[in-house]
Homo-oligomer: A and B are copies of this chain.
Amino acid sequence: MDKALVDHINRFINLSFEEEEILAGLLKTTTYKKKAFLHEAGDICRSNYFVVKGCLRLYFIDIKGAEQTTQFAIENWWISDLTSFLMQKPSEFYIQAAEATDVIVLEHRHYDELFEKLPKLEKYFRLIFQKLHQASQIRIKYLYSQTAEERYVNFNKLFPEFVQRVPQYMLASYLGFTPEFLSKIRAKK
């Protein structure tokens, strides 16, 4: 298994060599080409994904047929449709590689087992979900409070490298406007 996840975990807790071995036995590593689907709407989301290298996005198709990106995950972030993953019911989301992406895959069938065999990981995932909830609170506030242009300017300020990385139509849908509108804002700068 790629060292990236173990390194990330060991920032927060300390796994012994034996624990690292047990962990490796419960996970697998895969690579997806740019634009490949890890999961599609209608299917049950079987896995939670840790990004080693690259970028994934979570999106759904709205009633007008437009893609709405609700989340990105780059290096050291986890991503999944959590409701579908936890309850093993069909999902309304897609998970797609926004770039060629290396992931570590935690399948649902190993999820409970992971915590039984490695109770130390409760702390790690408490901190991960705490961070994800924190990010969601900030995100929801932005969705309520800012105009599309403010969202873009703010996002650019906070994550300049990320803005360069992802296809513009994905970024536009994440920020809640059309690609045409994004071109217009960029032209103004």
Give chain A's interface residues, CB within 8 Å of chain B: 58, 60, 62-63, 68, 70-71, 81-83, 86, 92-93, 115, 119, 122-123, 125-126, 129-130, 132-134, 136-141, 143-145, 176
User: How many angstroms from the CA of A176 to the CA of B145 in the assembled complex?
Assistant: 10
Given contacts A136-B137, A136-B140, contact A130 B86 (CB under 8 A): yes
Flag if B70 contacts A137 (CB, 8 Å): yes
Flag if A138 contacts B70 (CB, 8 Å): no
Flag if B139 contacts A140 (CB, 8 Å): yes
Flag if A123 contacts B130 (CB, 8 Å): no
Flag if B137 contacts A63 (CB, 8 Å): no
Flag if B60 contacts A130 (CB, 8 Å): no
Flag if B68 contacts A145 (CB, 8 Å): yes
Flag if B141 contacts A70 (CB, 8 Å): yes
List 6 A–B pairs whose Cβ atoms lie within 8 Å, in order of A's numbering: A58-B137, A119-B123, A122-B122, A132-B136, A136-B137, A143-B143
| Residues in B whose Cβ lies below 8 Å from that of A62 | 144-145
| Residues in B whose Cβ lies below 8 Å from that of A63 | 145
User: How many angstroms from the CA of A133 to the CA of B60 in the assembled complex?
Assistant: 17
Scoring A68, A119, A122, A132 by chain B CB atoms within 10 A of each residue's CB, the highest score goes to A122
| Residues in B whose Cβ lies below 8 Å from that of A58 | 137
Flag if B82 contacts A137 (CB, 8 Å): yes
Given contacts A83-B138, A122-B123, A123-B122, contact A70 B144 (CB under 8 A): yes
Given contacts A126-B129, A129-B132, A132-B129, contact A137 B81 (CB under 8 A): yes
User: How many angstroms from the CA of A71 to the CA of B136 in the assembled complex?
Assistant: 11
**Selected contact of A60 from candidates B122, B123, B141, B143, CB within 8 Å:** B141
User: How many angstroms from the CA of A125 to the CA of B145 in the assembled complex?
Assistant: 29
Given contacts A86-B134, A126-B122, A129-B133, contact A144 B81 (CB under 8 A): no
